[in-house]
Amino acid sequence: MKQTWRWFGPKDLVSIDDTLQAGVEGIVSALHHVPTGAVWTPGEIAQRQREIATMKDGSPSGIAWDVVESLPVSEDIKKQKGAWREHIANYKISLKNLAAAGIEVICYNFMPVLDWTRTDLAWRRPSGATCMRFDLTDFAAFDLHILKRPGAADDFDDALRDAALQRFNEMTEARRAELAKNVVFGLPGAAESFSLDDVRQHIAEYDSISEERLRGHLIDFLAEVTPVAEELGLRLCCHPDDPPVPLLGLPRIMSTEAHYAAVMNAVDRTANGITLCSGSLGARPDNDLPGMMERWGARVHFLHLRNVKRETADVRGSFFEDEHLTGDTDMVALIAAALREEDRRKAEGRTDVSIPFRPDHGQDILDDLGRKAQPGYPSIGRLKGLAELRGAIAGLRHARQRPHGMAG
């Protein structure tokens, strides 16, 4: 398993020098400044590679850009409207340019309108750390009383509607504004941001798009780009919905193992793969992460390792981002399954034996507090998570190498 770190570019508060001190072996990055749907040019790609390859004093860093996260899929492609055919053509050109630069793993997602959704970006824990949280009552209050989405009342039962109204009435104007900003925050580092009117307009454009139709659009997209990726030696990997439940009346098509199975089987090529995000998928109690790694490991090209704590047993419920080894996902079992998958790949003679992973998100602790880094991407909190994950990997490897029956 290859230790990587998400880096948002020169403006990131965590420098390449810092990532080296964290012990990472590769960088996950993207050209966030390039508008969605436009071509990633060789010059822009090379510039990001130079930035990653160089420390502050100009000396070589010794690490490279290993994973693209994300090469974004435009809303036009998702809806098959407007310039969607041009955007697919541009996507293919970007893939060719990335392949020419030696980058092989491309992460993307197919979530309508918003790339992830939280109601709190700095929710305080008893330890004093802060984390991101999704509170279902707050979200219902946003949907019903701030966004005022037509038909929103049908998505919540009587008890939740009553609780949302009470919660909304208790909110200050500042909290209402903060909640709206948090929900529409979108993808960290993205070139775009959405106003409430933008969100309403985008939602309206999905009125006629069912879950089945959106899945069809994803399969159409993959039928176009996967053969190109395969020819170029690239591995595409789709990130799950976050949270993995329907929101804002929009369809969700990558929230469960069954969802992934439908798409993987429809475009049955190894280049069509999975970003297995234990935090996103782990927000549902009916997702079995270690089992999914066992069953679909051959198609898992990238791992996001983080943990969430569910606050109810409901499929759609509140949760917060816990420490990496203390949430509801059995992280050690998931890592063990990933190591077994690497063994299988080695036995099969695959060249992509080592699966890249990154410590996804992290709680703000110590000097992270007040630094105003990208929400979910503190330096020390992620370093702590990486150290815990690295320890779990080392312990599992040591146990496998020990002679059978030898005392621990």
Structure-token pair, residue 276: 């297995």
Q: Annotated catalytic, 277?
A: yes
Query: Which H/E stretch holds residue 14?
Result: none
Phi-psi region for residue 50, left (φ > 0), alpha (ψ -120 to 50) or beta?
A: alpha
| Residue 26, token pair as written in the block | 């590769």
Q: Are 256 and 209 in contact (CB under 8 A)?
A: no
Could you tell me where the DSSP H helices lie in 125-275?
136-141, 158-170, 173-183, 196-204, 211-232, 257-266
Name the E strands within 70-214: 105-109, 120-124, 130-134
The residue annotated as part of the active site, out of 115, 360, 364, 368, is 360
C-alpha torsion 52→56→58→64, nearest 10:
-20
What are the start-end ranges of the H helices in 54-83?
A: 75-79
- Say if residues 223 and 267 touch (Cβ distance below 8 Å): yes
Is 217 in the active site?
no
Instruction: Write the CB contacts of 87 (distance below 8 Å, at least 6 apart in sequence).
Output: 36, 37, 74, 76, 77
Set 304, 324, 364, 368: catalytic member: 304
377 is annotated as an active-site residue: yes
Known catalytic residue: 301? no
H or E, element range at 356? strand 356-359
Three-state DSSP at 40 gives: coil
Extract the runs of DSSP E, i.e. beta strands, from 113-234.
Answer: 120-124, 130-134
Residue 108 annotated as catalytic:
no
Of these residues, 277, 288, 322, 324, which one is catalytic? 277
Beta strands across the sheet bearing 319-322: 120-124, 130-134, 319-322, 307-310
CA-based max dimension of the chain = 65
157 is catalytic: no
Residue 10, both tokens: 């020169």
255 within 8 A of 244, measured Cβ to Cβ: yes
Q: What angle do CA 210, 287, 132 make, to 5 degrees?
A: 85
CA distance 59 to 121: 36
Catalytic residues: 239, 277, 304, 360-361, 377
